[in-house]
A and B are shown apart, each in its own frame.
Chain A
Amino acid sequence: MNILLTALGVMAVLAILLGAILGFASVRFRVDADPLVDQIDAILPQTQCGQCGHPGCRPYAEAIASGEADINQCPPGGEDGIRKLAELLGVDFKPFDGDAAEPKPKSVARIDEATCIGCTLCIQACPVDAIVGAAKQMHTVIESECTGCELCLAPCPVDCIRMVPLGTSVETWKWRYPVIPIRTIKA
């Protein structure tokens, strides 16, 4: 009987002690926000285009973090983006779905000023305030801020916005991957 009581007592003391330690740790070392969402959000291209089916990049990041969404839903991020997400989350790389939108070359929206009627609908649609203009006045896109999300295309009642692919300039030109014919595979 005595042994039993001692055992119980020891167990109880241990339980209290460990519980206290755990409780203290959870308060002391608490992580404020969910850093995973931030990390995912940092990888996403921030076009806010909604092609992933979420209203913006952060909601998509939250969906990935909670396991609701797959990592291969972001066409602007490209395969590179998927690879980074896969690495961050420790999952396998997954190519884009067959029916998903294909990644496109980076473009910016351009308003055909002659056709624009100044309806402000595109201004409201732009997720990054990259369109300026006022009611009944012509609008224009600030190219350097445009993410190429294409969200302004649909609302335009007169179809005066088109996407202009950004060409390569000397500043953005990249050295190509060197090709060494080591493994010329015979046909």
Chain B
Amino acid sequence: MMYAPYLARPTTVSTVMFKVLAALLPAIATSVWVFGVGVLVQLALASVTALVTEALMLRARAVPVAPFLKDGSALLTAWLLALSMPPLGVWWLIVVATAFAIVFGKQLYGGLGNNPFNPAMVGFAMAIVAFPAQMAAWGIPHGPLSALDQLGWIFARELPAHLTLDAISSATPLDYLKTHIAPDMSATQVMASPLFGHFGGAGSEWVAFAYVAGGLYLLQQKVIAWHTPVAMLGALGLIAALMHLADPWYYSGAPFHLAAGATMLAAFFIVTDPVSAPVSARGRLIFGAGVGVLVYVIRVFGGYPDAAAFSVLLMNIATPLIDRYTRPPSFGAANRKRKEKSR
């Protein structure tokens, strides 16, 4: 017979993971609407790769396969990675990145619960470092490719006769801004390009809103805590607003930074990954703020257009340290100190 407590909430790890997966559905739908079925292809490729790799690794580690495949964590890693990768990326890119994420980001550290880094971000970082060219070609929102053409492009890199590469892909708004800003071209002027939509990129800004919707669902379900997303978005928005105030010529404002790139995906789905983030409330605030600052710094001053992955990985390194120094005082600890002092 087991020991106490004999009552337990029926929530399991799978429940948590599948809630997060469910929260991604609006963003997936929006992505498909904006970028086409390529997104679904990427998701499917990533999912299959993740599950196969996970199963092989579990078997190699002599760990029961079924319960760990069913927990949904590998699937979540796959989906998060697929949503951060270019929707029209070549098929092997997502496969390699996912396999790398599962093997090196998760299983080699001991599997579920033991990875110090966010596995999806490990895979993304590998891809952007190793295959910068393939990663740079982002699909044009509401592009000219039909569903079938998208499949042909992803799997065989074949384009319909009347189209060129430039017609179907472009740089992301962040990339575009970074390369076009100059002493004779202000941020505002650059952002007048139709690529930028209303806030952070035509089409992709709607995906960002979908991420927010999913995030709110997770907050409501108490799957994630408010601390990390609020701290990250707050820090990023604040620093962007301050820089914009200081020099509006070079620095775009807070709304753009919040809506652009992977900001919202990171804020609600990446930094809230419990395994690689601190646990205490204060720790989560520090962690989120750190990611926010790093995202801005790398985006604006660094060599990469977007920075969520690197910022998250850098803060992951700091997680044990943050945890150690933000342990909340235990019940009555303040009183104990006071009494000891008075003695």
Contact = CB atoms under 8 A, between A and B. Distances in A.
Nearest to A184: B64
B63 interface: yes
Given A185-B62, A185-B63, A186-B64, 7 more contacts: A178-B3, A182-B63, A183-B62, A183-B63, A183-B64, A184-B64, A186-B62
Name A's interface SS: loop
Interface string A127-158: 00000000000000000000000000000000
Interface extent on B, as a size class?
Answer: under 10
B18 to A, nearest CB: 20
A180 to B, nearest CB: 10
Contacts of A184: 64
9 contacts: A178-B3, A182-B63, A183-B62, A183-B63, A183-B64, A184-B64, A185-B63, A186-B62, A186-B64
A36 to B, nearest CB: 28
Contacts, number: 10
Interface residues of A, number: 6
Interface string B46-70: 0000000000000000111000000
Interface string B163-198: 000000000000000000000000000000000000
Contacts of A178: 3
B179 to A, nearest CB: 50
Nearest to B61: A183
Interface in A69-109: none
A162 to B, nearest CB: 38
B109 to A, nearest CB: 15
Contacts of B3: 178
Interface string B62-90: 11100000000000000000000000000
A185 B64 CA distance: 7
A186 B64 CA distance: 8
A186 B62 CA distance: 7
A122 to B, nearest CB: 45
Contacts of A183: 62-64
A159 B55 CA distance: 63
Contacts of B64: 183-184, 186
A184 B64 CA distance: 7
Contacts of A182: 63
B13 to A, nearest CB: 12
